[in-house]
Amino acid sequence: MNTQYLIRLDDACPTMDAVKWDALESVLDESGIKPLVAVVPDNKDSMLEIDGYDPAFWGRVLDWQKKGWTIAMHGFQHLFHPIERKRLLMPFYDHSEFAGLSEQEQAKKIRNSWQLFLDRGIEPTVWIAPAHCFDLGTLRALRAETPIRIVNDGIACKQFYEHGLYWIPQQLWALSRKPFGLWTVCLHPNSMTMKQIEAFRDKLTSDIFRSRIISMGDVYLRKRKRSLLDRAYSVWFWQRDGIFRALYLLRNRLGASVWEKLPFCSLV
């Protein structure tokens, strides 16, 4: 069966790690890969303040767009407030920039974000929530305030249509061989090492992945409901996620010296 991969780069902003982004951009250009880039339009997250403010950043985003990279709206300011996981559509973390706020508050954030992009001549076509954390109110606000109708998130084997939006699933954080389906690989250039970037380059040139990496423009959008296979994979994904969370908590409680003596410690 056919397997396809999308490459996604998260947390582009004027204070990103320019050296890492330059290196990764060169790797992608060498292979002719056009990724999806999640751009934070008004970053206030100190964790993303790695380099000094780059006044040429938005020109670079325009250049990405011109060479066929897909620009995504990555929230507004990348600032989080606490929230219970059970209130999230994608319960990865216990914080969100949007979920839990009133729909009016969420709409204002999205409206302001959209305007910042427009002011710089850029129209993002995809929504990517910071930390994957959002709720139904976020999606209603997105539809009301922007023409964006594609979400890059969700746990499924292929693209699907839900809540009035097209979903391109995002399930991987490294290139991994899959027998079928559409897989988004989410990378965070700011926190990657140069060794990891080189290893990524090696994978891109391998026969396993080289001909299977596509761009957003190659994705066929259709109003497809999630299948039983999609739902089964989602259940497995979240059960596995829960197990690994429990193991991490156990490791932190026991301490490294005790943990390393356990037979399953290599799993985490």
262 and 200 in a common domain: no
Residue-wise pLDDT for 114-136, tens only, equals: 999 999 999 999 999 999 989 99
User: For 76-86, what is each residue's pLDDT tens digit?
Assistant: 999 999 998 78
- Domain carrying residue 53: 3-222
- Same-domain status, 117 and 237: no
* DSSP assignment of 218-239: G-----PPPPHHHHHHHHHHHH
Report the mean per-residue pLDDT for the chain: 91
Same domain, 172 and 198: yes
CA distance 230 to 39: 28
> Same domain, yes or no, for 253 and 175?
no
In the beta sheet, which residues pair with residue 81? 96
| Same-domain pairing of 181 and 235 | no
Grouped pLDDT means (10 residues each) for the chain, 268 residues:
92 98 97 97 97 97 97 97 85 88 96 98 97 93 98 96 97 94 97 96 90 94 95 92 72 59 49
Residues 120 and 189 in one domain: yes
Question: Is 128 in the same domain as 231?
Answer: no
Burial class (CB in 10 A: 0-12, 13-18, 19+), 235: exposed
**pLDDT, tens digit, 9 for 90 and up, residues 163-195:** 999 999 999 999 999 999 999 999 999 999 999
In the chain, what is the straight-line distance between the N-terminal and C-terminal CA atoms, in Å? Answer: 31
Do residues 196 and 263 share a domain?
no
Could you read off the pLDDT of 152-165 as tens digits, one per residue? Answer: 999 999 999 999 99
What pLDDT, on a 0 to 100 scale, did the predictor assign at position 259?
41
Tokens of residue 82, six digits: 């606490």
Q: Provide the domain count of the chain.
A: 2
Q: What's the CA gap between 66 and 263, in Å, rounded? A: 52
Residue 143 shares a structural domain with residue 33: yes
Strand partners, 182: 4
Q: What percent of the chain has pLDDT over 90?
A: 80
Residues 240, 205 share a domain: no
- The pTM assigned to this predicted structure is 0.91
Whether residues 155 and 264 fall in one domain: no
What's the CATH number where 104 sits?
3.20.20.370
Q: How far apart are CA 89 and CA 139, in angstroms?
A: 10
- Are both 263 and 181 inside the same structural domain? no
Which residues are bridge partners to 160 per DSSP? 167
